[in-house]
Structure 1
Amino acid sequence: MAIVVNREVAGDLNNPPEALLNYCIQQHLSNLGRLENLSDYYDGKQSILKRIKDNPSVPNNRVLINHAKYVVDMNVGFMVGNPIAYSAETNKNIKPILDVYDEIDIVSHDTELEKDLSTFGVGYELLYLNIKEDGTTQPTLKCIDPRGIFLVTDDTVDKNPLFAVHHQPVYDLNGSIAHYLVKYYNDNRVITYKTESQGWGSYSLIKALPHYFHGVPVIEYRNNEEKQGDFEQAISLIDAYNLLQSDRLNDKEAFVDAILFIRGFTLQDGDGERLAQEKMLQTTSFPNEVDASYLTKELNEDGVNLLRDAILDDIHKITYVPNMNDENFAGNVSGESMKYKLFGLLQLMSVKSRYMIKGLRQRMQLFENFLKIKDSSIDATGTKIKLKPNLPINTTDIISQIVQAYQAGVLPLKVLLSWLPDIDDVDEVLEQLKIEKEENIEFQQKAMGTQADDSHSDLDDEPEEDEEGEDDNSNIRKE
């Protein structure tokens, strides 16, 4: 979570005071419990697994249905299942940035980033310089767990970044914490400290290096305005569903292990084992008064199923993630009908994408700042960033609509091609179409020219004299 500090109080950002570092780390650690809980719920370490009953002899099943992981994985696939598309403005050059993105596998990075956003409500990425085998440097980036990093901004309306801190423990060979490393990032350098405790001790300087990004190389992404995870509002419903399913199994187990009530005679030694083995017990004492039955409670499965379905519907309603096992998601549903069934998820994506695009623009700006050292032509201002929802799409219908609209002259071809989900760069496709059309015209011209040569070649040649004519002429001349 971003921590707000007054710029004048912060002091010298190139040599931060220990009191400033301690204060900021303490503020970050105060929110650590919430982040740990969200991580545990995604990993399947939920409250139902900690359930303890007063009577240890009664059934205590702990059934876990991990809706938290389902919600996160669905959102990640829906948001970044299709690669994020970048389109430069006319006469603007962003190709060097996109080339670096391809080299560092930005698609996998975005997937990891969205997973942090969906789980914790906030995500952080760190930009740094990687030294390649040939000795050259390349800007790259990594996702950092929000439990170990934070961003500090000023207290103005714009919330300008001041610096970021990444703190992590260093373990010895016995698995104990030997000390902590604290890396401080401002807009021009990276300072590494060593400390014995988090948020309370003194700091020993290890090294200070420049980073050349001309800005704080840590970007904070927000999942929404409140910085909440996608399943955070539904944690109580997830607990209720797990509890209901666990008690349902407990009741079944108690029903199977019901107490046998026998009236009219007393079991002798060995009768219990014989009853369990032979499933039958005979007695001759008071045959008219003998009775045996199980002590059970009535199980109302219809009521339990009704309650389970109600809780399940509430989980999907609160998280906006639909139940894909629902009968409404049949295989024969059209793409347009599917959009209406996913309307809630599409609305959620529209909000999430706005906050994510804001961070993606900061990322491009930092990459531009570094790459401009070697290539001054790079300009990422005005770049269009588009997130495409990963939905089942009927491409045949889309192509038919494009052909009809193009023949009717309603929209330009560039706009129509952008309707296709698998096209990231429309200009590149138009250039390919232009080259292909020119090649086809050239091929047809060559083909027509060859055909013309074959059919009319005898017209351009001088006529051959007939042998008989030659003889006649020669005879005439002789005469």
Structure 2
Amino acid sequence: MSSNRSFIYPKDTELTGNDLIEFINYNDSHLKPHYRTNMDYYLGHHPVLEQPAKQTGADNRLVVNLPKYLVDTYNGFFSGIAPKISLDDDKENQKLQDWNNTNSFVDKLNEISKQADIYGKSYAFVYQDEDSQTRVTYCSPSHAFMVYDDTVNREPLAFVRYHYDNSSDATAKGTIYYADASYDFVGPAINPEPTPNLYKLVPAVEFYENEERQGVFDGCITLINELDRALSQKANQVEYFDNAYLYMLGIQLEKDRDTGQPMLDLKNDRFIYAPADTAVNGKIGFVSKPDGDNMQENLINRLTEWIFQTAMIPNMNDQAFSGNSSGVALQYKLLPMKNRASNKERKFVHSLRHLYQIIFSVGTVLPDSSKNKWQDLSFQFTRNMPANIADEVNSAVNASGIVSKETALSLLSFIDDPKSEINRMEKEKDEEMKRVSQLSPAAMDFQKVNSDDEK
């Protein structure tokens, strides 16, 4: 086990049954609790909800689900606009786009990105379906893991997917995928009969944002817990003042003739009564405790501010943020998140290139002669920010003649595939030139358009 929670095994060595079970047990006992805890935070199941109930007084349990806000905001910023994945050759690029669309690859990449934000990492798994077509899906690290070799390059050695059946023995079952073959297993018993691996590579890729495999809110857990506690306590205090007891001291109330008791329900009416023979020193008021509202508000505001700063994600609902919309100021406020997204993009491009290396290796997406085209792939991630279309168009126009058409068009956020847009532009230009030539007086008779045909 490495410092970043990755499994290491000697190179060119297959896992033994005992080592396999040790890896699975470690993943279940040490890593899966962390993954489950992070998912609970994302879903709003925070520890404040599990605290022992109070014996007396108000007992509110409030959860501010900032983990979900942080993950969804950051993931939307990073992959809310579909990344542009393309090849230079038009025919090959069209086949690539067709495969991406058929497999809903952009949607799956978005889920991989979200899992990486929650767990710290996620996996893309490549397989052949019943029609021998190459498909890809995503796997959670709670029931899958990658084993790397012990070289300095840390190359993938094996990928393990496992699950537990509903029997009482809870035996792990799954498959080990190597570069040359895969093997099914039940507990430590590994089936000796291999299934050939068509890809000749380990058919899975790990996606992560940073080498430490930390999620978006891993560094904010204590702050989030304290924010939940502070808000819950504030709600308790508000409820306390709503239910405050009225006291009446030194005053004689009229009594019921039958019972001889005051004509009030002292318990349900939250009433404290201490009579006296005379009302000279009588007092009436509410039992109250010191009001710490300002201190609580300062704590809540400070915790909220530090959660966003630690996660490096701006609070889009903050009045100071939304009220200052000048371009430069907005860029500075988004700078920490942009820096974080840039680091994530570099890691994802590396993983995506390796993923397409596996996908292209069997020749179902591109011909066998093009299986090395994964090296020529272009990846463009566009940050999902409020776009000023007029400024984008001006930037693209100003860039024309300085850079290529494709680069200039890539500056426009509303164009998903610059290559296809160039093809459409050229087709429209050819059709317009053809039409102009047909209408020209100098055109040959056979080139001219028949007015009757036009009608």
- What's the TM-score, normalizing by structure 1? 0.82
Hey, what does 2:75 align to over in structure 1? 76
Counting only pairs closer than 5 Å after superposition, residues 161-310 of structure 1 correspond to structure 2 as 161-171=156-166, 179-195=171-187, 202-203=188-189, 205=191, 208-265=194-251, 269-273=261-265, 285-310=277-302
Q: Give the alignment partner of residue 149 of structure 1, picking from 141, 144, 150.
A: 144
Q: Is the counterpart of residue 349 in structure 1 residue 335 in structure 2?
A: no
Q: Structure 1 residue 266: deviation in Å?
A: 6.8
Alpha-carbon distance change, 411 to 358 in structure 1, aligned in 2, over 3 angstroms: closer
Hey, what does 2:112 align to over in structure 1? 113
Question: How far apart are the structure 2 equivalents of 1:304 and 1:118?
Answer: 31
Alpha-carbon distance change, 265 to 441 in structure 1, aligned in 2, over 3 angstroms: same
The one-letter amino acid paired with 1:226 is E
My pick for the range that moved more, 29-38 or 77-86, is 29-38
Hey, what does 2:417 align to over in structure 1? 425
Question: How far apart are the structure 1 equivalents of 2:307 and 2:234?
Answer: 19
Q: Structure 1 residue 155: deviation in Å?
A: 1.2
What whole-Å deviation, never above 9, does each CA across 1:33-59 have from its counterpart, x for those lacking one?
Answer: 222211111111111112225x51121
Q: Give the alignment partner of residue 361 of structure 2, picking from 336, 345, 369.
A: 369
> Is the radius of gyration larger for structure 1 or structure 2?
1
Hey, what does 1:360 align to over in structure 2? 352
What whole-Å deviation, never above 9, does each CA across 1:92-129 have from its counterpart, x for those lacking one?
Answer: 94543432221110111011101110000011121111
Q: Structure 1 residue 189: deviation in Å?
A: 1.9
Question: How far apart are the structure 2 equivalents of 1:150 and 1:277?
Answer: 61
Q: Structure 1 residue 149: deviation in Å?
A: 0.7
My pick for the range that moved more, 410-419 or 288-297, is 410-419
Q: Give the alignment partner of residue 377 of structure 2, picking from 383, 404, 412.
A: 383
For structure 2, the 5+ residue unaligned runs are 254-259, 446-455
Alpha-carbon distance change, 106 to 335 in structure 1, aligned in 2, over 3 angstroms: farther
Q: Structure 1 residue 334: deviation in Å?
A: 5.3
The one-letter amino acid paired with 1:145 is S
Question: How far apart are the structure 2 equivalents of 1:367 and 1:438?
Answer: 36
Q: Structure 1 residue 446: deviation in Å?
A: 2.5
Q: Structure 1 residue 163: deviation in Å?
A: 0.6
Hey, what does 1:38 align to over in structure 2? 38
Give SS of 1:370's match: coil
My pick for the range that moved more, 281-290 or 32-41, is 281-290
Q: Are the aligned partners of 2:95 and 2:365 in contact in 1 as well (CA < 8 Å)? A: no
Question: How far apart are the structure 1 equivalents of 2:215 and 2:19?
Answer: 29
Give SS of 1:150's match: strand
Q: Structure 1 residue 7: deviation in Å?
A: 2.2
Q: Structure 1 residue 328: deviation in Å?
A: 3.7
Q: Structure 1 residue 272: deviation in Å?
A: 3.1
Hey, what does 1:125 align to over in structure 2? 124
Give SS of 2:316's match: coil
Q: Structure 1 residue 74: deviation in Å?
A: 0.9
The one-letter amino acid paired with 2:19 is L
What whole-Å deviation, never above 9, does each CA across 1:223-251 have from its counterpart, x for those lacking one?
Answer: 21110010010011111111111000111
Question: How far apart are the structure 2 equivalents of 1:282 and 1:241?
Answer: 41
Q: Structure 1 residue 331: deviation in Å?
A: 8.0
Question: How far apart are the structure 2 equivalents of 1:307 and 1:148?
Answer: 39
- What's the TM-score, normalizing by structure 2? 0.86
Alpha-carbon distance change, 95 to 324 in structure 1, aligned in 2, over 3 angstroms: same
Hey, what does 1:313 align to over in structure 2? 305
Q: Are the aligned partners of 1:3 and 1:27 in contact in 2 as well (CA < 8 Å)? A: no
Give the share of equivalent positions with the same residue, in percent. Answer: 23
Alpha-carbon distance change, 286 to 206 in structure 1, aligned in 2, over 3 angstroms: farther
The one-letter amino acid paired with 1:126 is F
CA-based RMSD = 3.0
Question: How far apart are the structure 2 equivalents of 1:279 and 1:294?
Answer: 9
Hey, what does 1:464 align to over in structure 2? none
Hey, what does 2:408 align to over in structure 1? 416
Q: Structure 1 residue 150: deviation in Å?
A: 0.6
Q: Structure 1 residue 450: deviation in Å?
A: 9.0
Hey, what does 2:451 align to over in structure 1? none
Question: How far apart are the structure 2 equivalents of 1:275 and 1:168?
Answer: 56
Q: Are the aligned partners of 2:251 and 2:274 in contact in 1 as well (CA < 8 Å)? A: no
Q: Structure 1 residue 280: deviation in Å?
A: 12
Q: Structure 1 residue 377: deviation in Å?
A: 3.1
Q: Are the aligned partners of 2:17 and 2:190 in contact in 1 as well (CA < 8 Å)? A: no
Question: How far apart are the structure 2 equivalents of 1:360 and 1:43?
Answer: 28
Q: Are the aligned partners of 2:133 and 2:364 in contact in 1 as well (CA < 8 Å)? A: no
Question: How far apart are the structure 2 equivalents of 1:411 and 1:187?
Answer: 42
Q: Are the aligned partners of 1:271 and 1:281 in contact in 2 as well (CA < 8 Å)? A: no
Hey, what does 1:400 align to over in structure 2? 394
Q: Are the aligned partners of 1:154 and 1:160 in contact in 2 as well (CA < 8 Å)? A: yes
Q: Are the aligned partners of 1:154 and 1:162 in contact in 2 as well (CA < 8 Å)? A: yes
For structure 1, the 5+ residue unaligned runs are 196-201, 454-479
Question: How far apart are the structure 1 equivalents of 2:84 and 2:394?
Answer: 24
Question: How far apart are the structure 2 equivalents of 1:284 and 1:266?
Answer: 6
Question: How far apart are the structure 1 equivalents of 2:193 and 2:287?
Answer: 74
Hey, what does 2:9 align to over in structure 1? 5
Q: Structure 1 residue 205: deviation in Å?
A: 2.8
